[in-house]
Amino acid sequence: MYKFLTTAIVSVSLFLCFTGRAQSFNTDSLRVTLPQAEKMFLDSNLQILAQKYNVDATKALIIQARLWPNPNINISNGLYNTQTHKWFQVFDPNDAEQSAQLSQLIVLAGKIKKQTRIAETNYLLSEYGLFDLLRTLKYALRSTYFNIYYLQQTARVYDEEISSLKTVVGTFEKVVDSGYVAQVDVVRVQAQLYSLQAEYQTLIDNLNDQESQLRLLLQTKPSIYVVPQIDTTVINSTSPLQYPMQNLMDSAYKNRTDLMIAKGNLTLSQQNYSLQKALAVPDLTAGLGFDRHGSYIPNFTSVGLGIDIPIFNRNQGNIKSARINIDMNKTQLTLTQKTLEEQVTRGLQRAVDADRLYKQLNPAFAAHFDKLAAAMLENYKNRLVRLLDFLTFYDSYKTNIVQLNTILYNRVNALETINLNTGTNFFN
């Protein structure tokens, strides 16, 4: 009976080492490398597509800002002649009263030019917004991609131990009444199994949440289960110290789109201040007029100019508000610069710490534990160790592999954070 239990455990363990976790809800697996995932993301992400439409719409407003006001024409004709008792006399030049005015608003103080510059700055800001969205979404894509990979590695360890314990529990329950196994051993194994299942469910919920986020980024079907294909050799050989701090900082100042947006907002507020001062200057209206019988002479023609007198409304409030907005955006720009510097510095520090922790690990850590697990199985098969000693070792194996995968992900995520903070794929 003891040999039967041992054989069952060994068989299940070896089988699960070569099989992945079955996906009951997500029926289709999609194996993609990181470059493939990024291409799918750029080709199909709806957030990026919507932002591109916004950029095009903002660009069209430049055309509108350049346009002059339309001329205005006003034509009037007499409704009723009280002398001839006729309605709508149009073609009688002697008795019909007709008049016409043509006017054009002449915009002064360079308002149209200033409005055009504001529209052009808004267009640049919308482009910066697109690039900043790309930067943040790309970080989310890559971070989620690596997180899924290491969560899947962790899930396999849980799969192995849970399946093994299920087999042991099922076999124990069959033979407990025969006296080969003590009831207390059955209870202890069952308690460990329930604890593992609770941990495993939490892990799977997290993994499925990450899969859902990745599917949204890639715009794939809900039935897809993404399986990342990663070359860990390249990742493990990457060092966060291969680029000097000054290079990272210079790249951030050059490529961070949130910094470009802050600078653009300052430029926009300065342009708006210039426009508000120009709006204090009234525009000129020029016009031509004709009146057949309504003036002191027949067929009277006239030319005229009109302008508002800026006595009460000189746009004082808008000018003051625009000037305050300049100070506000200067402060925001300074804050963005200080935030950028802190993020780059802290990001590199975090990556160095994660890399130092990774290098303290034995490179053959996982393989070493696999050999020990195989040796433990062999010893248990030969009745050199007790069942609970075997389970304790296997649980320790699970704990260490989980910690290893967490350390590996934290290191990769720290490198991706440097990419995010500098606006450049230094680590690809």
DSSP readout, 94-162? Answer: TT--EEEEEEEEE--TTHHHHHHHHHHHHHHHHHHHHHHHHHHHHHHHHHHHHHHHHHHHHHHHHHHHH
- Whether residue 133 contacts residue 51, with contact meaning beta carbons closer than 8 Å, is answered with yes
Question: Residue 202: how many CB atoms within 10 A of its CB?
Answer: 10
| CA–CA distance, 260 with 368 (Å, rounded to integer) | 50
Angle of CA points 322, 256, 417, to nearest 5°: 135
Going residue by residue through the chain (428 aa), what tens digit of pLDDT does each one get? 434 344 333 333 433 343 344 445 667 899 999 999 999 999 999 999 999 999 999 999 999 999 999 999 999 887 777 776 777 776 666 667 788 999 999 999 999 999 999 999 999 999 999 999 999 999 999 999 999 999 999 998 888 778 877 877 777 777 666 666 667 777 877 888 898 899 999 999 999 999 999 999 999 999 999 999 998 888 888 999 999 999 999 999 999 999 999 999 999 999 999 999 999 999 999 999 998 877 888 889 999 999 999 999 999 999 999 999 999 999 999 999 999 999 999 999 999 999 999 988 766 666 666 677 667 766 765 667 777 787 777 778 888 888 989 999 999 999 999 999 999 999 98
Query: Is 142 exposed, middle or buried (CB count within 10 Å of its CB: 0-12, 13-18, 19+)?
Result: buried
| CA–CA distance, 165 with 157 (Å, rounded to integer) | 12
- Whether residue 68 contacts residue 112, with contact meaning beta carbons closer than 8 Å, is answered with yes
For residue 401, the model assigns a pLDDT of 84
Same domain, 46 and 151: yes
| CA–CA distance, 157 with 373 (Å, rounded to integer) | 12
For residue 77, the model assigns a pLDDT of 83
Q: In this structure, is residue 272 part of a structural domain?
A: no
Q: Where are the beta strands (DSSP E) in 145-263?
A: 224-228
Same domain, 154 and 23: yes
Q: Which residues pair with 302 in a beta bridge?
A: 289
Q: In this structure, is residue 334 part of a structural domain?
A: no
Give residue 306's domain range.
Answer: 69-106+281-314
Same domain, 229 and 161: yes
Same domain, 374 and 416: yes
Q: In this structure, is residue 319 part of a structural domain?
A: no
Total H helices, total E strands in the chain: 11, 8
Q: Closest by alpha carbon to 48, among 200, 217, 260, 281?
A: 217
Number of compact structural domains in the chain: 2
Same domain, 212 and 300: no
Q: In this structure, is residue 273 part of a structural domain?
A: no
For residue 219, the model assigns a pLDDT of 92
Same domain, 375 and 390: yes
- Residues contacting residue 160 through CB under 8 Å, at least 6 positions apart: 13, 16, 17
